[in-house]
Each structure stands twice: as structure tokens, then as C-alpha cells.
Chains A and B, each alone.
Chain A
């Protein structure tokens, strides 16, 4: 029951304090189980990225956490109220307990630092006892783990392909063996073949290390394949939260239905496409 819970969000809200104020996340309550993959589906502007940033207190002004609590149930038994951590405690919490794989690895890597340096500074910040040789060993291991290869430690981001950069981001997120990984559109900019490889790797790593994943994307068919549960977000609220099978077979909310219909089936029926002239309730 509660032993099983990793993260509890209670009545969580984020507001952009502009004129007029915008409620980006509205009263989201959610509990994430240990080892679970939760898919967070929605289109641009629905608040999914804001929610992800909000959980880790990465929001930049004018976004503020307006209400609610985020509690992380550490495997040691301690409950951590993320909102009440002070600056130093927050820095220690970040990446160690929960890490993030960011969208668009194009710009997520520092262009003037080598891959090894960027992976290494995580250890410098969180494991100050490590020697330089240990760091090089560890960062090399990470790159081998995600199949980029330790020979890339001295490379720079612009020398790597999009797929490799994304793998480096995943390696970076894994560095401290966190209990939670939040992935924000990690495969969106990538080819379908590379995407499949990376998804398989994530799945393998998850089996190996047992972390939970919040997987954020607009690609609902993808979530249907990989998630244990899916939360559909619209205008800051979670409008449906259920297993993939239920969502696929009997979606409750009209928006979920609409989202499902936007993805024509690859091998099945036509669905809402009216290529040959029969109307099927398409909207603009």
C-alpha cells in the first residue's frame, strides 16, 4: 500500500504570475508506485512539462507553485517533502533521488564542455569523495551502459548524432541511480528506429535498476505500449488516469477519445480519416 508508493502529489497547482494569471497546473493529485512507468499524455500547453518541472522545483519566474504538496517516499523509509527543502537539501535531493531526461537534447548539453566533464560534474557535486580516476571509470561505465561507448568521453556534444546525445542524457540521468526518472519527450525528435532502440534500452535499464519513470509525451500509441498507467492531461488537469488497456478499449473522457482518434491505426481500420469522402466527425 503505502510502502509501495514512491511519490505522492496532493492538490498540486502551478500558476504563471502574469497579467492575467495563468493556471498551468490545476489541483493535480497523483501517486506513483515504486518501479512503475506512468505515462503523462497531452498536447502542448496542457501543463505536463510544467508539472514535471514543478515536482523538482525547477520552475523559473513567473511560474510559482501555488498550492499542494509533493512528497517523495525514499527507499530508506524517510518521507521527503520536496517543497520544504532548503537550497542545499534541494541540491542534494536533485539527481540523487530523482533525475530528469530533458526534451530536445540538441540544446540540453553544454556546448563547451566535453561529455566526460558534463557527466563527471554530477559526481563532483554529489560524491565529493570520489577520486578523478574513479570518476573517469564511472562515467565511462555509464557511456558503455547506454551504448555510446567510453571512447566518447572526450567528445563534444556537437560531434554526436541526435540519438547519441539523447543516450548521453539518459546516461547522465542514471548516474546516481535515482529512484525516479522523469523523461520529457525523450524520443520526439528522433527517428522511429532510433526511438525504438532507446525505448528498449530504457526498458532494460529499468529492469536492471528498478527505478520508476514518468514518461511525458504527446505520442499516445507509444504510451499505450510502454506504460503501466497513463494520465491524460488537458488544460492543467488530469482528465483520465487508467491502465493502457482501459484507455484503449473504453476511454472515459471525450478528450481521451479525441486524442486516440488523432492517431490512425497503422495496420487496422481507417478510423476518423475521410480520405475517400465519408465524413467521420473530424474537427479542425
Chain B
């Protein structure tokens, strides 16, 4: 129990630190661009918007710094991340909320699929080390080095342009209004086929190799020999003794990669014009839309934290040794 409490305390502290740094960063910008923007667009920005920007960014704020800090927290807890300068002054939270589900949905699901398939293949190859299954290793290595954009473009060229099996861009057909009908969901899945396929293919190699290498290491351990000596079925030995131990480092990697889902799929979104966070962040950077950028950084930081928490929890469940840090 104390293990979880300690971890929880650690994460709370990290979250607090991230948010605080987020507070101080823009106040260290010289000649900040928000003021410039507001000066240019005098009269077009509502007083509430100016207020919230002031809370978030400072902006010649006459109030003492600690009071600004408290207001900042207050505004965060109300879900107010300011207004987006490049998106017609829409609230940042709305812009993010618009894009987030697409990213999480597509990339999250693809990563999970890739992990499961890759780990499964890696387990099998590792188990049958020295056999013909090893031929997969160079293929996996190749896949893990393929640049995403190259594969993406090839996939589009083959499956979309030439074969016309799948659409090449966007999350759903133009003109449709997003809703929860089966038809719409089907449309979404149809549109996500190519980007998902590309993501799975490029990240598969890494999982296969990682799991295979761990399997080979674990298979040399004494407890695997004991399991075989006990006359257990090969499946039980492979799964319960070898894979259960070999997967532990994979889980850590998986959790880390989950953390990068939110911000790290820019290229995919550019190639497929997929309305995710990565693309939004890129656009915000180009437009010098600081409120939006800041809001997204915060979201990305917090999601990496959440991913780490998940990883810790899963690891603690899977590996009983980690629950006792200073074991006898």
C-alpha cells in the first residue's frame, strides 16, 4: 500500500512542478508576442479573453507574482487555458478537445495493436531461437528503421491512388457531420485504415526485436530449465515462465510510448491530413499562437505523466518484486 502512496505522491509533485514551470516560462519571454498581438488587434478581443490571457501569460500584470500564480491555478482548475490566437479566439480547451480524440483514438489503438502483435511475434521467435523463424529478425530490423513518411507515402500511393481501396486523407468523409451513428463510425474506421496500418508497420519491428531479445535472455535462466525439468508443456513454459518475465521491460517501453502518442505523431497527421493534436501544434507554432502552444504542452506533459503512472501500476501488478523496493 505504501508503495502506491509513495508513487502517487511522486506523481502529484511532478504534475505540480510541470504546471508551475508552465507558469513561469512565458513570463521569461522578452517582448512577449501576446502584448504585440493584442496591440494590433485592439478592440477585436473581448475583455474576458484579455483577462484570461493576462492570467496565463503575465502581460504587464500589476498584481504581485504569487497572486498571479494563484489566479493561474484557479483558471486552470476551471478549465480555462486561454484563447487561441490563430483559431479565431476559440478557447484553447475547445481546440484541444476537438483534436484530442482523433489522436488518442487512432494512435492509441494503433500502438496497442502494434505492441500486442509485435510482442506476440517476438515471443514466438525468441522461443524458437535458431530455427527458420529467425528470418523475421532482419525483416523486423528493416521495418524499425523505415522512415515513417516514406512508408506513408508508399502506402498512399499503392492502396489509395493505385488500388483505390482506402481514402488518403482526413478522418471522415468531407461534409459529414460527426455523430455516433454506425455509419459514421464505419466511415471513421475506413479513413483510419491507412494511417493505422502505417503506424503499426513502422513500430512493429521495435516490439518484435525487443521481445525476442528478452526472450533469448530469459530462456537461459535457471527457472526455465526447472520448468522444463518438471515436465510442463512447452506452451506453459513459454508463456508462464519465459514470456511473463521477458515482457516486463517491454511494458516499460510501452508505457513510455503511450506518453508520446499525444504529441508525437505530427508526420502521420501531415501526410494523411489527420485532424490530430500534432498537426494543431505544428500550425500553432507557425502562427506563433502561444496560448495554444502552451495549452498543448501542458496537455502533453500531463498525458506523459498519466502514461507513466499506468506503466508503474501495470509493472507493479506484473512483477511482485517491484512492490518491495528494499526487500530483504
The answer to A–B direct touch (Cβ < 8 A) is: yes
* Chain A hits for B324, CB < 8 A: 158-159
Judged by a CB distance under 8 angstroms, whether A99 is at the interface is yes
What's the nearest-Cβ distance from chain B to residue A178, in Å? 11
What's the nearest-Cβ distance from chain A to residue B238, in Å? 13
Closest chain B residue to A97 by CB distance?
A: B231
Query: How long is the Cα–Cα vector from A91 to B234 in the complex, in angstroms?
Result: 9
* Chain B hits for A60, CB < 8 A: 225
What's the nearest-Cβ distance from chain A to residue B3, in Å? 14
* Chain A hits for B328, CB < 8 A: 159, 161
Judged by a CB distance under 8 angstroms, whether B226 is at the interface is yes
Closest chain A residue to B231 by CB distance?
A: A94
Closest chain B residue to A126 by CB distance?
A: B231
Cβ-defined partner of B230 (8 Å) among A95, A112, A158? A95
Contact size range, B: 20 to 34
Judged by a CB distance under 8 angstroms, whether B229 is at the interface is yes
Judged by a CB distance under 8 angstroms, whether A156 is at the interface is yes
In contact, B229 and A56 (Cβ under 8 angstroms): yes
Query: How long is the Cα–Cα vector from A90 to B228 in the complex, in angstroms?
Result: 10
Cβ-defined partner of B222 (8 Å) among A91, A107, A122, A125? A107
Tell me whether A110 and B245 are in contact in the complex, defined as CB-CB below 8 angstroms, given that A156-B320, A158-B324, A158-B327 are known contacts. yes
Contact with A along B246-269 (1 / 0, CB 8 A): 001000000000000000000000
Judged by a CB distance under 8 angstroms, whether B233 is at the interface is yes
In contact, B229 and A111 (Cβ under 8 angstroms): no
Tell me whether A61 and B130 are in contact in the complex, defined as CB-CB below 8 angstroms, given that A110-B223, A112-B245 are known contacts. yes
Query: How long is the Cα–Cα vector from A104 to B241 in the complex, in angstroms?
Result: 18
In contact, B229 and A99 (Cβ under 8 angstroms): yes
* Chain B hits for A104, CB < 8 A: 222
In contact, A102 and B319 (Cβ under 8 angstroms): no
Question: How many residues on the A side are at the interface (Cβ–Cβ under 8 A)?
Answer: 34
In contact, B226 and A108 (Cβ under 8 angstroms): yes
What's the nearest-Cβ distance from chain B to residue A280, in Å? 40
Closest chain B residue to A56 by CB distance?
A: B229
Query: How long is the Cα–Cα vector from A124 to B245 in the complex, in angstroms?
Result: 21
Tell me whether A58 and B225 are in contact in the complex, defined as CB-CB below 8 angstroms, given that A94-B231, A111-B319, A125-B232 are known contacts. yes
* Chain A hits for B233, CB < 8 A: 91, 125
Judged by a CB distance under 8 angstroms, whether B240 is at the interface is yes
Cβ-defined partner of A112 (8 Å) among B227, B228, B318? B318
In contact, A121 and B236 (Cβ under 8 angstroms): yes
Cβ-defined partner of A58 (8 Å) among B228, B232, B248, B318? B228
Residue of B244, B320, B321 most packed against chain A (CB within 10 A): B320
Closest chain B residue to A88 by CB distance?
A: B233
Residue of B231, B241, B244, B324 most packed against chain A (CB within 10 A): B231
What's the nearest-Cβ distance from chain B to residue A163, in Å? 13
Closest chain B residue to A121 by CB distance?
A: B232
Query: How long is the Cα–Cα vector from A93 to B228 in the complex, in angstroms?
Result: 12
Query: How long is the Cα–Cα vector from A58 to B227 in the complex, in angstroms?
Result: 11
Tell me whether A110 and B241 are in contact in the complex, defined as CB-CB below 8 angstroms, given that A91-B233, A102-B225, A121-B230 are known contacts. yes
Judged by a CB distance under 8 angstroms, whether A219 is at the interface is no
* Chain A hits for B240, CB < 8 A: 110, 113, 121
In contact, B319 and A110 (Cβ under 8 angstroms): no
* Chain B hits for A56, CB < 8 A: 229
* Chain A hits for B319, CB < 8 A: 111-112
Judged by a CB distance under 8 angstroms, whether B32 is at the interface is no
Query: How long is the Cα–Cα vector from A86 to B322 in the complex, in angstroms?
Result: 40
Judged by a CB distance under 8 angstroms, whether B221 is at the interface is yes
Query: How long is the Cα–Cα vector from A158 to B324 in the complex, in angstroms?
Result: 9
Query: How long is the Cα–Cα vector from A90 to B320 in the complex, in angstroms?
Result: 32
What's the nearest-Cβ distance from chain A to residue B221, in Å? 6
In contact, A91 and B231 (Cβ under 8 angstroms): yes
* Chain A hits for B227, CB < 8 A: 110
* Chain A hits for B221, CB < 8 A: 107
* Chain B hits for A124, CB < 8 A: 236
Contact with A along B206-234 (1 / 0, CB 8 A): 00000000000000011101111111110
Q: Which residues of A from 109 to 149 have beta carbons under 8 Å from B?
A: 109-114, 121-122, 124-126
* 6 A-B interface contacts by CB (under 8 A): A99-B230, A102-B222, A112-B318, A121-B232, A158-B327, A159-B328
Excluding A100-B229, A122-B231, 14 further A-B contacts by CB distance (< 8 Å) are A61-B130, A91-B231, A93-B231, A99-B230, A100-B226, A102-B222, A111-B319, A111-B320, A111-B321, A112-B248, A112-B318, A121-B240, A125-B233, A126-B231
